[in-house]
Structure 1
Amino acid sequence: MGEERRRGAGRGVDAVGRAVFGSPDDTGTSGSRGSRRFVRMLPALLIVGGLLFDSLAPTNFTAVPLFVAAPLIAAPFFSLSRTVRTGIASVLSVIAMRLSDGTSTRVVPVIEMLTVLTTAVLAVFINGVVRRGNEQLASARVIAETAMRAVLPTPAERIGGLQVAARYEAAQADEFVGGDLYAVADTPYGVRVVVGDVRGKGLGAVEAVAVIIGSFREAAEQERSLEGVAQRLERALAREGTRRYGLDAMEGFITAVLAEIPPGATSLRVVNRGHPEPILLHADGALEVLAPSVPALPLGMDLGAWPDRADVWEMPPGATLLAFTDGLSEARNADGVFYDPAARLRGRIFPGPEELLSALTDDVRLHTGGRATDDMALLAVGRPAEGQPVRRTTVPIVGRGDGPGEG
């Protein structure tokens, strides 16, 4: 009897291999490594292990729990067809075992076969629920990405005679909904920009971003001063907070930095509302950290009237203004060291804003080892040097060895 069971188990192993694995393309192993490959093989391994166990173990031991587990494991990870094949393989394996040992008509083996069959049907149902959930999640991600791209469109490369580049880097590759923002507007008063960070994430943060961006575009055209633009943003948040029964519905507060580059001048005006300090890079590699003369609270913090004050800086030809959110300045390496953009950029020379942002994002990934924990928005506005052609080459900023987190 034991010999017959072992021969039946051998035939069952071959059947399981064909039923569960299918053709080589069906297994998907060409793009699977490590744990993913193990998960793909686990249902078949359980069935094969159950057959071997049943053929070698004493008759009072059963491997039915392994056959029950196989389709349940396949349900959330495999396609419908593979889940069905796994369930069929489990049922056929139990039937083959009981036929080989001549116990198929007894009460306990019949209950075992019915149990595995019921589990296989349940696995198909679970697979359908998981697939519908995945489809809804994919649809939500597409909607979120579309919303973010509509709210934060990529600015033109040249605005008001200045070179412009912007980046939005999500902390997770498949996440698109965040609270970081940027906008550029060519106005009668010069090129005006805003970079900000909403407290929180999700659709609530996107709503707050939309309010700020919409208010900024209107105020940038109408307000004569940069301080007036900041006050308009403050009033817009207060108005939306009232309409939504409290600022918590609008994510509470927003840090922001606003800048204005007047036409025909080499000056730069900056209003900082609790935001990371922007950096001004000069054509010779020198840089300035544009710290505000008077610290100010973020937008939306209802703690009384707050007079805005714009600081004025010189922005000669060849200089580039770099504004960013705290996803850059608070990026950490494996030792917990924060990324210091000023230290990493000092002494570097870039052909233009696009090259600057490309090199900067690459350097942040190197610093963090690709383990970013927060989204970041980057905006660079450059005043072209006299007679400087617009080039498109990438200049690396890594390997200098004098910034934090080197190596």
Structure 2
Amino acid sequence: MAMRKRRTARKRTPVLPGTDPGAAASAGRIGSWPLAGGLALLSVLIVLLDVATGDDLRVVPLLVVVPALASVFCTLRQTVWVAVWITSVVVGSGLGGDGTFWDFVFGIGFTVLACALGVAACAARIRHATEMARLRSATVALQRQILRPLPVVTGQVLAYGLYEPMEEDRFVGGDIYEVVESPHGTRVIIGDVQGKGLAAIGAGFAAIAAFREAAVREPTLTGVVDALEDAVVRHNAFSAQTGEAERFVTALVLGFDDESDRVQAVNCGHLPPRLLHEGRSSAVPLARTYVPLGLAGLSRETRAAESFGFPPDATLLVVTDGVTEARDAARAFYALDERLGRWAGHGPRELLDALQHDLADFTGGVRRDDVAALALRRAPAGDGPRATATRGKLRPIAP
């Protein structure tokens, strides 16, 4: 009985999209009954047409293209079944015809060869789809391992997050975020690596690793940003040696402390934060936007931190361009600032839920970039790490 219960529980385990390699192989599967009905109807029409044209024009051999079409849209079992059916129809038509023996033999041989090629093509397609699904699953798993599960509670902030990575290999992006509590307060980064693919993930990992170390070590926010710049430059130098293209990283780095209701910020080519407070939302007007990480050598400016107000009951929203550059069916961009006003009174978790659902409705579920967003609020008194530990494990927000 215990064994039976364990088996039942295993069957009920949900599978996340993009993590089941077999799903890609059967994604375009045609139902068996529609396939059988369509094949029978096509066979009857072709045979009747063949009878009508007589021996002057044989039409039945044209059925050999059907297994080739089935190999594109059907499963391997369905393609084999189609091949057997077509071979049977061609053989039956040849036996009832008036052709010579060698015409019959060559017709059957050609049909068998075409059907075998269709089955082989279907097997190759399914094998390739399975391999690509496994690659996408590994890539998405790698992204999720690099990035911290959210929400996170520190001594200064409550950080909730939304993260939806692309699962198509050529569109996999390099969105990054991290929240680190240090002796100098809580440091937060959100950024986007230029380009797509596994190379972008590598550059993002280099930036995240440098941030985790520098956020604890450096006493100033500009020191953290300088460490990030050096890390991206070193990564680009290594990439050049291995033949990979150099990349830059747009990033917004924030610093929170206990001494004031203000936030320090250094914007390296990223989108400005949005502040939601007292039922209103607005973009935070940062005075300077510096060049992205990895490009400081092209500018004479020295990055400096600036500050802005962050009241205790306000929510600070930071996003990547996967949000602002999302498009609908008419290719119009997502108007984030116009829509945020509807949710200005929401808490951080409710705000991200509303944003996620609204993005899905706006794009029709079709995305071309990663989506990452953080909703930050000042932590109430006594909500530091020790208080967090007493509440059990942090539960990540499902994308």
**Where on the TM-score scale, by shorter chain, does this alignment land: which range?**
0.7 to 0.9
Residue 156 of structure 1 aligns to which amino acid in structure 2? Answer: P
Q: Work out the CA distance in 2 between the residues paired with 1:315 and 1:37.
A: 62
Q: 1:55 to 1:386 in 2, by over 3 A?
A: farther
Q: Work out the CA distance in 1 between the residues paired with 2:268 and 2:243.
A: 19
Aligned twin of 1:77: 73
Superposition TM-score, scaled by structure 2 size: 0.80
Determine whether 1:290 maps to 2:284. Answer: yes
Determine whether 1:194 maps to 2:182. Answer: no
Q: Work out the CA distance in 1 between the residues paired with 2:33 and 2:222.
A: 58
Determine whether 1:323 maps to 2:335. Answer: no
CA contact 1:184–1:191 (8 Å) conserved in 2: yes
Q: 1:334 to 1:133 in 2, by over 3 A?
A: closer
SS of equivalent to 1:212 = helix
Aligned twin of 1:139: 134
Aligned twin of 2:6: none
Determine whether 1:96 maps to 2:71. Answer: no
CA contact 2:174–2:192 (8 Å) conserved in 1: yes
Match of 1:185 among 180, 184, 199: 180
Determine whether 1:86 maps to 2:57. Answer: no
Please list, as runs of the form range in 1=range in 2, the aligned pairs for 1:13-92 lying within 5 A after superposition.
46-92=42-88
Aligned twin of 2:341: 346
Alpha-carbon displacement from aligned partner over 1:262-315 (angstroms, at most 9, x marks no partner): 124311111101111111111x11233123212211111231454112121111
SS of equivalent to 2:95 = helix
Q: 1:313 to 1:40 in 2, by over 3 A?
A: farther
Aligned twin of 2:201: 206
Q: Work out the CA distance in 1 between the residues paired with 2:135 and 2:367.
A: 23
CA contact 1:189–1:263 (8 Å) conserved in 2: no
Aligned twin of 1:21: none
Q: Work out the CA distance in 2 between the residues paired with 1:64 and 1:255.
A: 62
Determine whether 1:255 maps to 2:250. Answer: yes
CA contact 1:252–1:300 (8 Å) conserved in 2: yes
SS of equivalent to 1:245 = helix
Aligned twin of 2:362: 367
Deviates more, 1:105-114 or 1:174-183: 174-183
How many matched pairs?
357
The structural deviation recorded for 1:351 is 4.3
Q: Work out the CA distance in 1 between the residues paired with 2:55 and 2:81.
A: 28
Asked which structure has the greater CA Rg, the reply is 1
CA RMSD in angstroms comes to 3.1
SS of equivalent to 1:316 = coil
Alpha-carbon displacement from aligned partner over 1:110-161 (angstroms, at most 9, x marks no partner): 2111110111122222222222212211221121111111112322342335
CA contact 2:136–2:168 (8 Å) conserved in 1: no
Higher relative contact order (CA 8 A, sep 6+): 2
CA contact 1:191–1:263 (8 Å) conserved in 2: no
Residue 312 of structure 2 aligns to which amino acid in structure 1? Answer: P
CA contact 2:171–2:196 (8 Å) conserved in 1: no
Q: 1:173 to 1:381 in 2, by over 3 A?
A: farther
Please list, as runs of the form range in 1=range in 2, the aligned pairs for 1:230-241 lying within 5 A after superposition.
230-241=225-236
5+ residue gaps, structure 2, are: 1-25, 384-399
Q: Work out the CA distance in 2 between the residues paired with 1:174 and 1:244.
A: 20
CA contact 1:273–1:296 (8 Å) conserved in 2: yes
CA contact 1:98–1:109 (8 Å) conserved in 2: yes
Q: 1:311 to 1:331 in 2, by over 3 A?
A: same
CA contact 1:163–1:352 (8 Å) conserved in 2: no
